[in-house]
Structure 1
Amino acid sequence: MANWEQLLSLKRFGDKHKRIRKEQDDTRLGFEVDYDRIVFSSAFRSLQDKTQVIPLSETDFVHTRLTHSLEVSVVGRSLGRNVGKAILKKYPYLAATHGFHFNDFGAIVAAAAIAHDIGNPPFGHSGENAMSDYFKNGAGQRFQSQISKLAYQDLTHFEGNANGFKLLTETRDGSVGGLRLSYATLASFTKYPKASLPHKPTNQIAHKKYGYFSQQADFFDEVARDVGLPTSTHEHGQSYARHPLAFLVEAADDICYTIIDFEDGINLGLIPEDYALEYLSKLINHKIDVDKYAKLNTTKNRVAYLRSLAIGTLIQETVDIFMANETAILNGDFHVDLLSQSRYKAQIKDIINISIKNVYRSQEVMDKEIVGYKVLTSLLHEFTTAVEHQLNGQSTSIDRLILANFLPHFNAEQSPTEDWLIDISSHIAAMTDSEALRTYKKLTGMAL
C-alpha cells in the first residue's frame, strides 16, 4: 500500500540528500517551482499554436492546447486542494509531523495538469495517428528489422503522454535531467505508468496507453520506486499502479474537454445553443440563477455561465468519488477513471457524443486533419531519410541541405537507430502546427 508521505516526494533528479517538507520555503514551495519551470519551458510555449480540437482555426473562440492546459490546471488545482483538505483531516500526522499543507496537493496536480499535453504533436490526436502510421504502414517500416520490438512499438503507437515524459526529463542543451521536476509531480503526470509493451495487457485504465518510451524506462522506475507506487501483477507481467493524484489530473482533463469542447462547438455554431441549456442544466439545474441567466444577452456569455456551474458541480463530484475510494486507490486496486463512477456519467456521455458528432467529425476538422497527416508523414520521411543517408555515407545534396537547415544540432552518429528515430519523432512532435506547416512548404517548394 502506498503512503502519502512517500507519494508527496520532493526529490528531483540528481539530488544527493532528501528534501524535507518542513524545511521548505513556503513562499515558493518545491511543487510550485515545478509549475514555474514548466510554464517557462519552450515546450509549454509551443502549445499556444497547437490544435486542441479545430486544427489551424482562424477564430478566437477556439481553444488551443495552451488555453486548454491552463484551464485543466485551474481545475486540477481545485481538485488537489479539496482532496488535500480531506486527506489531512483523515491523516493529521501529515501536517503535524511532516508539515504538509493542503496546497501541496493542489500545487502537484496543477503542475502535472499544466504539462499534461506538452508532448502532443501538431494537429491534435490525428498527429499521433499520422506519426504512428508512418512506421506501421508507411516507409518507416524499413526500420523494423534494425530496432528492438519495444522501440518499434513506441514508434508505431506514438504516444503524446510518453513524449511529454521525455520532454520533461531528458538531458538536452546542457540541462541535465531536463526540467528536474519533483518526483511527485512526474509520477502524477504519468497517467499510464507502463511501457508500450505489453500493449493493453488488461482493461485497467492505467493500461489504456503507455507513459514513457523505452529510452526513459530506467528513469521512470527510479521515480516510481521513490514515490512508492504499488506494483500491479497480471498475466502479462508486472507494471506499476498509478500515483493517486494522477486520477485527479485525468479528471481535470476529462471535465475540461467534456464541457469546454462542447462550449467551443456552440460558439462556432456547430452545436445549437439550445443544447447548452438542455444538456448542461441536467448537471446544474438546482444552481442556476434564473434572473441572472435571463439578463445575459449573448450566446457566449450564457454558455460561459452554464459552463462555470457545470465545472463546479463536477469538481465536487470528483472529490467525493476520490475520497470514497481513497483506500483502494492507495492500494492500487482502483482501475477506472473517477468520472466513470459519477452519478452524472449518463449526462457526460450525452455531451461527449454531441461533440463527437458535431465537432470532432465536422468537415472542417476532417479536412485539416488530412493536411496534418500529409505534413507530418512528409517531415518524418524527409528527416529520417536524410539522417539514414548520412549514417550510410550516401548523403545527397538535398540530404545535406535538410540536415543543415532543419536539424543543425542533431547528431545521430553515436546513437542506436531506435534512439535517433525516437529523437526525430519527438523533435517533430515538439513543433507547432504553423511551424510544421512552414517546414513542409519549404521542403516541397511551396514556400517560394
Structure 2
Amino acid sequence: MYIMNWEQLLSLKRFGDTNKRIRKEQDETRLGFEVDYDRVIFSSEFRSLQDKTQVIPLSKIDFVHTRLTHSLEVSVVGRSIGRRVGQKLLEKHPHLQTVHGYQANDFGAIVAAAALAHDIGNPPFGHSGEKAIGEFFKTGEGAQYKNQLTAKEYQDLCDFEGNANGFKILTESRDGREGGLRLSYATLGAFMKYPKESLPKKPSNHIADKKYGFFQSETDAFTDVAHELGLIQRSDTDISFSRHPLAFLVEAADDICYTIIDFEDGINLGLIQEEFALEYLINLVRGRIKTENYYALSNKEDRVSYLRALAIGTLIDEAVTIFMDNETAILNGTFQTALLDKSKYEAQINDIIKISVDNIYKSEEVVDKEIAGYEIIKHLLSVYTKAVNNSHTNQASNYDKLILNRLPKTIKLDEDSLYKRLLSVCNYVSLLSDSNAILNYNKIKGMHF
C-alpha cells in the first residue's frame, strides 16, 4: 500500500521554482512557511473579509465576528494544533529533524497559513452567497448556458464552492502576479480540504468527498501541487486525491472555532440564554474549570469568555491526540472522517451546534440577510454576465458599456471560453464585501445618488 511521506508533504516548493528548496538551507528569520502567512494577510482578498458575514450580518456590535476575525482565530488555533502535532511527529520520526532540519514550528506555520486563507474564497453574505451563485446557474438565468459548457464546467457553477474559489485566488496567475500568491506547496496542500473536482458527485461517507476543491480552470495547478506533495490518487478516471494530512488540522481548527465562538456570539447577543452556556460548555471543561476563578467573574461576557477559552483548549488536546492515534491511517488515505468526529466529546459538540442552528443560524436577522443576499447576488450576476457576454459578441448596448466601465480588468472580455468568462464574473462578485455588494446593487438599481 502506498503511504504518503512527510518530507514530500512538507515541500517548500513554490510556483515557478526550478530548483528544490531544502529545509536546512532556509533562513530561520524568514522561514518560507511563515512567508506564506505574510502573503495571505497582506493580500487584498484577505482584507475584504473584514466586511464579510461570519454568522450575524452587518452587525454594529463590536464583539460579533466577521470572516476576518474568524479566520485570524482559526489561524491561531491551527498554529497551536500544528505545533503540538509537529512536536510529536518529530519525536516519532526524528530523521525529519536530524536529517532534513524540520522543526515543530514548521507544522504550526503551515497550518496557520492555510487556516488564515481557509475562507478567502467565500462570497459575501456567508454560505448563502455560495448558494445564491449556484442557484443563478442551476434554476435562474444562468441555466441558459448549460448546453454550451461541459458537464464539469456547468457543475462548477451550479455548486459554486468557496474552497475551489479560494484555491483559484491563491494560485491564479494574472499580469504581474504569476502563480497567484506563490505559496509553498505544503501550505496549498493543507488548504485543500476537498481534493477533487466537482464531478462525479460521490455518495460517499469519505470526508474528502463532501465538497470539491478546485474549478476546471485550475486543473493543472491542482494536479501539479498534488503530485509534488505525493498525495494518493483515489480515482483512475477522474481527478480525486486523498487529503494532505495537515488539512485535517486546518479543518479541526475551523470546527473548534465555529462551534465554540459562534455559540459565544449567540450568548453575547442574547440569542442564547447564559444558562445554556453553563450547561453546554461546562460539559466540555469539567476537568479544567477552576470554580473559584469562574465565580469571581462579575459579568456574562467574562464568564462565557473563560469557558470558551477552556473549551478551545480541551478540543485542541482532542484534535492532537486523535491525529497522532490515526497518523498511519491518515498517511495511507484510509482515515475517512473529520478529527473531531472521533472525539469523546462528540455528543457535547453536537449539542452546541444544534442549539446554535436553532437560535443563531435560523434567527430572523440571519434569515433576512440570506434573503437579501440572494436577491443582490442574483441581480449582480444577471447584469454583469449579460454585459460581458454581449461585449464578447460585439452586441453590447450603451447600458452594457456603462456596466463594463465599472468592472475590473481581471474580467477578460476577450476570453473565448464562455466558462472562463462566467467564472471570472462569479469570482469578481465573490470578492465583493457585503457592503460593496449592496453598494453595487443600489447603484445599478439607481438608488445611490
- The TM-score normalised by the length of structure 1 is 0.98
Contact kept, 8 Å, 1:184 with 1:227, in 2: the verdict is: yes
Equivalent runs, 1:204-223 vs 2, <5 Å? 204-223=206-225
Task: Determine helix, strand or coil for the equivalent of 1:240.
Answer: coil
Distance 1:316 1:206 in 2: 23
1:391 deviation in Å? 1.6
Aligned AA for 1:58?
Answer: K
Aligned AA for 2:37?
Answer: Y
Correspondence for 2:364: 363
Distance 1:172 1:64 in 2: 28
Distance 2:409 2:325 in 1: 53
1:42 deviation in Å? 0.2
Correspondence for 1:193: 195
1:57 deviation in Å? 1.6
Equivalent runs, 1:144-223 vs 2, <5 Å? 144-223=146-225
Aligned AA for 1:11?
Answer: K
1:190 deviation in Å? 0.4
1:1-33: CA deviation from partner (whole Å, max 9, x where unpaired): 100000000000000100000000111110000
Equivalent runs, 1:8-27 vs 2, <5 Å? 8-27=10-29
Correspondence for 2:63: 61
1:408 deviation in Å? 5.1
Q: Is residue 396 of structure 2 the alignment partner of residue 401 of structure 1?
A: no
Correspondence for 1:428: 429
Distance 1:407 1:102 in 2: 42
Task: Determine helix, strand or coil for the equivalent of 2:231.
Answer: coil
Question: Which stretch shows the higher mean deviation, 391-400 or 430-439?
Answer: 391-400
Distance 1:73 1:440 in 2: 33
Correspondence for 1:44: 46
1:213-272: CA deviation from partner (whole Å, max 9, x where unpaired): 0000111101001011011248x7562000000000000000000000000000000000
1:411 deviation in Å? 2.3
Aligned AA for 2:277?
Answer: A
1:61 deviation in Å? 2.1
Correspondence for 1:239: 240
Contact kept, 8 Å, 2:15 with 2:182, in 1: the verdict is: yes
Distance 2:277 2:383 in 1: 46
Correspondence for 1:291: 292
Distance 1:394 1:90 in 2: 65
Q: Is residue 18 of structure 2 the alignment partner of residue 31 of structure 1?
A: no
Distance 2:101 2:185 in 1: 18
Contact kept, 8 Å, 2:196 with 2:239, in 1: the verdict is: no
Task: Determine helix, strand or coil for the equivalent of 1:231.
Answer: coil
1:106 deviation in Å? 0.2
Distance 1:172 1:401 in 2: 24
Distance 2:181 2:384 in 1: 27
Task: Determine helix, strand or coil for the equivalent of 1:100.
Answer: coil
1:58 deviation in Å? 2.1
1:409 deviation in Å? 5.3
Q: Is residue 370 of structure 2 the alignment partner of residue 348 of structure 1?
A: no
Aligned AA for 1:268?
Answer: L
Distance 2:407 2:178 in 1: 24
Correspondence for 1:383: 384
Q: Which runs of 5 or more residues in structure 2 are unaligned? A: none
Aligned AA for 1:269?
Answer: G
Correspondence for 2:9: 7
1:135-182: CA deviation from partner (whole Å, max 9, x where unpaired): 000000111111111110000000000000000111124200010000
Q: Is residue 417 of structure 2 the alignment partner of residue 416 of structure 1?
A: yes
Question: Which stretch shows the higher mean deviation, 393-402 or 340-349?
Answer: 393-402
Task: Determine helix, strand or coil for the equivalent of 2:186.
Answer: helix
Aligned AA for 2:280?
Answer: Y
Aligned AA for 1:432?
Answer: S
Contact kept, 8 Å, 2:231 with 2:242, in 1: the verdict is: yes
1:368 deviation in Å? 1.3
Number of paired residues?
A: 447
Distance 1:11 1:415 in 2: 32
Aligned-CA RMSD value: 1.1
1:360 deviation in Å? 0.1
Contact kept, 8 Å, 1:55 with 1:369, in 2: the verdict is: no
1:414 deviation in Å? 3.0
Distance 1:76 1:405 in 2: 39
Q: Which runs of 5 or more residues in structure 1 are unaligned? A: none
Contact kept, 8 Å, 2:198 with 2:211, in 1: the verdict is: yes
1:407 deviation in Å? 3.8
Contact kept, 8 Å, 2:274 with 2:300, in 1: the verdict is: yes
Task: Determine helix, strand or coil for the equivalent of 2:286.
Answer: helix
Correspondence for 1:442: 443
Distance 2:230 2:292 in 1: 51
Distance 1:3 1:407 in 2: 42
Distance 1:40 1:408 in 2: 21
1:203 deviation in Å? 1.8
Correspondence for 2:275: 274
Aligned AA for 2:126?
Answer: G
1:189 deviation in Å? 0.1
1:55 deviation in Å? 1.7
Contact kept, 8 Å, 2:197 with 2:239, in 1: the verdict is: no
Contact kept, 8 Å, 1:193 with 1:240, in 2: the verdict is: yes
In structure 2, the CA distance between the partners of 1:445 and 1:302, relative to structure 1 (3 Å rule), is same
Distance 1:352 1:273 in 2: 16
Q: Is residue 93 of structure 2 the alignment partner of residue 80 of structure 1?
A: no
Question: Which stretch shows the higher mean deviation, 31-40 or 281-290?
Answer: 281-290
Task: Determine helix, strand or coil for the equivalent of 2:271.
Answer: coil
Correspondence for 1:70: 72
Distance 2:226 2:408 in 1: 34
